[in-house]
Amino acid sequence: MLTLLRALLIPPIVLCILWQPPRFLALTLAMLWIACITDILDGHIARAYNQATEFGAVSDALTEKIMMYSAMFALFGLGSYWPAVLLPMFIRDMFTDGLRSYCASKGEVVKAFAWGKAKFGLQFASLNAVILAFRLPEPWAFRFNALGNILLAAALAVALFGTIPVLHAFTRVSRTQSGRNTKENS
């Protein structure tokens, strides 16, 4: 249910970012904080009541990514995010999620690690800094915008470490598949 709430917050967040900034940026921050808090609570509640499911974990992660990248690309459209930081971050996430999905389809589930939580925290801090930059006078606006991009670069660095277990899982799955194909062809 909390995942659905976060999903429903995505369109208003994007609209508030794009519609006459900085008028609705305080509302945008409030919605982002609600989404962040419900994301944290969602997992804790599911585990506490023994209601954690694979579908819940996947839909939660997907909703988180859609929310983050919708907001970040909206801010990119306003010139706030540097393409040299945002685009590699996005490509890395899509690549890693693709590998993770492939592994899952072959029976190898790659669980989220602490790297993912650290990445989310840095992305969230980045969004806050970039959004706050709209409300600040110069030179603070420039500094907060730069801070947001630096935080996103740090999130990318952390995320790259989180890619390692996924690559290991992909390698195991590929070797298993290769072994099966060799036996079938013999």
Contact indicator for 134, 25 with CB cutoff of 8 Å: yes
**Residue 18 identity (one-letter amino acid):** L
* Distance separating alpha carbons of residues 148 and 7, to the nearest angstrom: 24
Distance (Å, rounded) from C-alpha 161 to C-alpha 72?
Answer: 22
Cis peptide before 139 (omega within 30 of 0): yes
Structural domains of the chain, with CATH: 2-178 (1.20.120)
Position 21 confidence tier, pLDDT thresholds 50, 70, 90: low
Mean local confidence (pLDDT), 140-167: 95
For residue range 23-40, what is the model confidence (pLDDT) as tens digits?
Answer: 788 899 999 999 989 888
In the chain, the N- to C-terminal Cα span, in Å, equals 51
Interatomic CA distance for residues 9 and 16, integer angstroms: 11
Report residue 44's pLDDT band, with 50, 70 and 90 as the boundaries.
Answer: confident
Give the predicted TM-score (pTM) of the model: 0.86
| Rounded mean pLDDT, 90-100 | 93
Q: Taking the CB of residue 23, how many other CB atoms lie within 10 A of it?
A: 11
Cβ atoms of 133 and 179 closer than 8 Å: no
Helix (H, G, I), strand (E, B) or coil at 10: helix
Residues in the chain: 186
Q: What is the pLDDT of residue 183?
A: 62
Cα dist. 71→11, 66, 85, 131, 145 in Å? 9, 8, 15, 10, 14
| Residue 27 amino acid letter | L
